[in-house]
Amino acid sequence: MRRLGFIRGVAAVAVAAVLLLPGSSFAQQTSGGSTPAFRAPTDQELTETKSGGVNWITYGGALSNQRYSTLDQINTSNVSTLRGAWLTRLGSARGSKYIFEADPLVIDGVMYIPTGNDDIFALDGKTGRKLWEYNSDIPQTNDLICCGWDNRGVASGMGMIFTGQLDGSFVALDQTTGKVMWRTQLEDYHDGYSITGATRYYDGMVFTGMSGGENGIRGRVYGLDAKTGNEVWRFYTIPGPGDIGGDTWPAPTNPDPVLAQAYTHGGGTVWQAPAIDPELGMMYFSTGNAGPDYLGQVRPGDNLFTASIVALDYKTGQYKWHFQEVHHDIWDYDAPSPVVLFDQTYNGQVRKGLSEPGKTGWVYYLDRTNGQPLIGINEVPVSQEPRMATAATQPIPNGDKFVKDCSTDPIPGFPVLGCMFDAFYDVPVVMPSSASNFSPSSFDPQTGFTYVMGGETLTGRAMKPEQFVLGKRYTGGAAVTPLDTPILNTITAMDSRTNKIAWQHELPGDRSYGVVSTAGGVLFKGQVDGNLVAYDAKTGDELWKFQTGWGISAPPMTYSIDGVQYVAVASGGNRGGNSTTDGDAVWAFSLGGTIDQVAAPPPVQTKTALSGPVVKIGQPVGRVDTQGQDKLFEGTIDTVDYAFTPTRVSIPAGTTLTWSNSGSVIHTATATNGNWDTGDITPGSSADVTFNTPGTYSYNCNPHPWMLGQIVVT
Helix (H, G, I), strand (E, B) or coil at 428: coil
CA distance 30 to 321: 51
Task: Classify residue 695 by burial, with Cβ atoms within 10 Å: 0-12, 13-18, 19+.
Answer: exposed
Judge contact between 73 and 565, C-beta under 8 A: yes
Query: Do β-strands 522-526 and 377-381 pair in parallel, antiparallel, or remain unpaired?
Result: unpaired
Cα separation, 624 vs 639, whole angstroms? 21
Which helix (DSSP H) or strand (DSSP E) does residue 685 occupy?
none
If we measure between CA atoms, which residue out of 536, 574, 582 comes closest to residue 552? Answer: 574
Compute the residue count for the chain: 714
Cis? peptide before 701, omega within 30° of 0: no
Distance of CA 110 to the CA centre of its chain: 26
**Exposed/middle/buried for residue 601 (C-beta within 10 Å: 0-12, 13-18, 19+):** buried
Question: Which is the catalytic residue, given 332, 444, 529, 641?
Answer: 332
> What is the helix (H) or strand (E) element at residue 260, kind and residue range?
helix 257-260
Letter string b/e over residues 170-181, b meaning 16 or more CB atoms within 10 A of that residue's CB: bbbbebbebeeb
For the CA atoms of 137, 139, 143, 146, what is the dihedral angle to 10 degrees? Answer: -20
Strand order in the sheet with 275-277: 275-277, 282-286, 308-313, 319-324
Residue 554 · residue 565 · CB < 8 Å = no
Our CA dihedral for 587, 593, 597, 598, rounded to 10 degrees, sits at -70
**What is the DSSP annotation of 624-684?**
TTSS-TTSB-SSEEEEETTEEESSEEEE-TTEEEEEEE-SSS-B--EETTSS-B---B-TT
In contact, 706 and 413? CB cutoff 8 Å: yes
**332 belongs to the catalytic site:** yes
Is residue 131 within 8 Å of 123, Cβ to Cβ?
A: yes
DSSP letters of 39-85?
-PPPHHHHHH--SBSS-B-STTSSTT---EE---SS-TTTGGG-EEE
**What is d(CA 568, CA 585) in angstroms, rounded to the nearest whole number?**
11
Residues identified as active-site: 332
